Amino acid sequence: MFRMKNKSEKKNGKRKGFSYSLEDEKILAYMKLTAGEKLQWLEEINRFTFLVLNDRQKEFREKLRSGEI
């Protein structure tokens, strides 16, 4: 199993950012996709999140990505 963590530091005794795990099978399946299929998947995910998240949720997501929280 692959585990991904962001590189934000631990401040004030609290970790910031996010982490997640992926099964090896999912990683292998993604590796088999062509570059075009990967870009199409990325565009679809970006379009979906743009449509379903409100402005407050988008702001929270960006703070999480940047390591502010």
CA 6 to chain centre: 10
Residue-wise pLDDT tens digits, 11-68: 566 777 777 789 999 999 999 999 999 999 999 999 999 999 999 999 999 988 888 8
| Gap between the Cα atoms of 4 and 24, Å rounded | 12
| The model's pTM | 0.59
- In order of 34, 36, 44, the CA distances from 47 in angstroms are 20, 16, 5
